[in-house]
Amino acid sequence: LIREYLRDGKIQELEAYLDQFTETLPNPQSIVYCQHYETNSLLVYFAQQAQQHGIDMDVLVQFPEKLNLPETTLSVLLGNLLKNAIEACKEVTEGEKKITIRAKSNHGFVFFDISNNYSGTLKKNANGEYLSTKKGGQGLGLGSVANLVNYHKGVFEVDSTENIFRVSVILQEQNLL
């Protein structure tokens, strides 16, 4: 939508859209999960979403103020994974609804691990990849994450056991100019 507004020169409409969207966001300064502003803002937003649905979020993120990764990379990765985790937890009808996030930047690498409860049965395709529970198995979230991690020559692992879904990612920080 933002790109369309820009392409069509609709700057006033874009500003109105962004103003309206910004009003729905929590103040990212209200809670500090980590020093990295963009990541902290995402975590605050998704923690608010989780709370609205009765989902406990256990967050331990050790990111410094500056990471040598494009902000869009972290936004796509964390945004897709946390959105999926919240959607899965919302479907849990018995037991705990919980998302656990562990992330760290160390020696030029960024690691993060996100796990969440889910209910039902997960399906895999012939290649062993998990199928989305949305859109007839054609959701884009995990695929987008896998493609982005692959683009950055990172490591992407997905696992599920006993109604816990877990995604782990390792990315090497880049020399950004």
pLDDT tens per residue across span 9-26: 999 998 888 888 777 665
In this structure, the strands spanning 109-117 and 56-62 are unpaired
Provide DSSP, the chain: -HHHHHHTT-HHHHHHHHHHHHHHS--TTS--S-S-HHHHHHHHHHHHHHHHTT-EEEEEEE--S--SS-HHHHHHHHHHHHHHHHHHHHT--SS--EEEEEEEEETTEEEEEEEEE--S---B-TTSPBPPSSGGGT-SHHHHHHHHHHHTT-EEEEEEETTEEEEEEEEE-----
Quote the pTM value.
0.76
The total of other beta-carbon atoms located within 10 Å of residue 131's CB is 14
Q: Which residue has the tokens 């493609």?
A: 147
42 contacts 78 by C-beta, under 8 angstroms: yes
User: Phi/psi class of residue 90: alpha, beta or left (left: φ > 0; alpha: ψ in -120 to 50)?
Assistant: alpha
Residue 145 CB burial class (10 angstroms; 0-12, 13-18, ≥19): buried
Q: What is the pLDDT at residue 141?
A: 64
Structure confidence at residue 137 (pLDDT): 46
Per-residue confidence in pLDDT tens, the chain, 177 aa: 888 889 999 999 988 888 887 776 655 556 889 999 999 999 999 999 999 999 999 999 999 999 999 888 988 899 999 999 999 999 998 889 999 999 999 999 999 999 999 987 776 666 656 656 555 544 456 878 888 899 889 999 999 888 999 999 999 998 654
Model pLDDT, residue 77: 92
